[in-house]
């Protein structure tokens, strides 16, 4: 049987190696956003109103008139789909928040969890809740494109079997993986740009004093940021030796 001291030494050495990865600086941010989702879920888990549906009904009722004016299509969805099924939707939301928090914290299917978190935050924004959703969107975009899930996470092993970058944060990339990531990032960039354009008609103000309170403008900004980050990530996933290329350009070769 391996001595306890040896196991701890090996674990410490592994942790140091993990923290030398390029995306290691994002680890505290990953823990922060995971705790945020776990807090949101716990808040609902201890509130009986979320099991009865009354808490979500009250929220939808309060936000309905605003959403119908700002996003008519989402207001219709809230009134005719979410409100009649408030109990099931409430249970689904708090369960999904719990799953997202745990998955991000342990780095398991991290990219899938981040995308699910982004979808929830966008839905909250469209319901008229800009805080902290806009804040969460930015953090999750950084984590998604930074590949933070593979650092001290289950994805480091899982990515050897699952190569879909929409689900798992890869630890090591082969040429084929880079091509796949490049295609995915290009698709994300196009989708985000299209969504930004689609949100433009719903922008209600450009007044500097109130733009931070306009969910439509926040969504336009977030989607444009997402498109830019995806575009940069697509360029970065070329698989070339960028340092060597820079030296060639600098020397005029």
The per-residue pLDDT for 241 is 43
| Same domain for 195 and 101 | no
Q: Where are the alpha helices (DSSP H) in the chain?
A: 4-18, 27-45, 49-52, 54-70, 72-77, 86-106, 110-126, 133-146, 155-158, 175-199, 215-236, 242-251
Q: Which sign does the torsion angle of CA 31, 163, 182, 99 carry? A: negative
| Same domain for 186 and 66 | no
CA distance 217 to 134: 11
* Number of domains into which the chain is organized: 2
Query: Above pLDDT 70, what percent of the chain?
Result: 86
| pLDDT above 50 for 5 | yes
| Same domain for 118 and 18 | yes
| Same domain for 224 and 121 | no
The per-residue pLDDT for 239 is 55
pLDDT digits (tens, 9 = 90+) for 182-218: 888 899 899 999 999 999 999 988 888 787 778 888 8
Which of 1-5, 11-15, 16-20, 57-61 bottoms out in mean pLDDT, i.e. has the lowest? 1-5
**Where among 167, 198, 228 does a domain terminate?**
167
More confident of the two residues 37 and 63: 37
| pLDDT above 70 for 249 | no
Domain with 212 in it: 173-253
| Same domain for 188 and 152 | no
| Same domain for 215 and 145 | no
| Same domain for 190 and 144 | no
Mean pLDDT of 17-36: 83
| Same domain for 51 and 125 | yes
CA distance 57 to 82: 9
| Same domain for 244 and 135 | no
**Where among 167, 187, 206 does a domain terminate?**
167
| Same domain for 209 and 124 | no
| Same domain for 204 and 132 | no
Average pLDDT of the chain? 83
Confidence band of 179 (pLDDT split at 50, 70, 90): confident
**Contacts of residue 190, Cβ cutoff 8 Å, sequence gap at least 6:** 227
**Where among 167, 201, 232 does a domain terminate?**
167
| Same domain for 113 and 226 | no
Confidence band of 96 (pLDDT split at 50, 70, 90): very high
The DSSP secondary-structure symbol of 71 reads -
pLDDT digits (tens, 9 = 90+) for 112-127: 999 999 999 999 888 8
Query: Above pLDDT 90, what percent of the chain?
Result: 38
The per-residue pLDDT for 3 is 64
Q: 36 and 70 in contact (C-beta within 8 Å)?
A: no
| pLDDT above 50 for 181 | yes
């Amino acid at each position: 049987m391996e001595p306890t001291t040896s196991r701890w030494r090996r674990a410490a050495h592994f942790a140091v190696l993990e923290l030398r990865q390029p995306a290691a600086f994002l680890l505290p941010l990953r823990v922060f956003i995971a705790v945020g989702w776990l807090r949101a879920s716990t808040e609902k888990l201890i509130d009986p109103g979320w099991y009865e549906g009354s808490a979500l009904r009250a929220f939808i009722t309060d936000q309905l008139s605003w959403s119908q004016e700002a996003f008519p299509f989402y207001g219709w969805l809230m009134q005719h789909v979410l409100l009649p099924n408030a109990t099931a939707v409430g249970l689904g939301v708090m369960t999904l928040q719990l799953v997202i928090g745990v998955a991000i914290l342990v780095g398991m299917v991290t990219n899938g969890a981040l995308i699910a978190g982004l979808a929830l935050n966008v839905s909250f924004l469209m319901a008229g809740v800009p805080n902290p959703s806009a804040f969460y969107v930015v953090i999750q975009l950084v984590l998604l494109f930074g590949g933070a899930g593979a650092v001290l996470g289950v994805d480091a092993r899982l990515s050897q079997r699952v190569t879909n970058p929409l689900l798992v944060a890869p630890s090591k990339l082969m040429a084929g993986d880079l091509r796949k990531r490049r295609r995915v990032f290009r698709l994300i960039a196009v989708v985000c740009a299209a969504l930004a354009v689609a949100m433009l008609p719903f922008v209600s103000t450009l007044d500097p004093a109130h733009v931070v309170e306009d969910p439509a403008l926040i969504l336009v900004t977030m989607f444009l940021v997402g498109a830019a980050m995806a575009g940069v990530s697509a360029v970065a996933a070329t698989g070339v030796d960028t340092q060597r290329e820079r030296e060639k350009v600098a020397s005029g070769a």
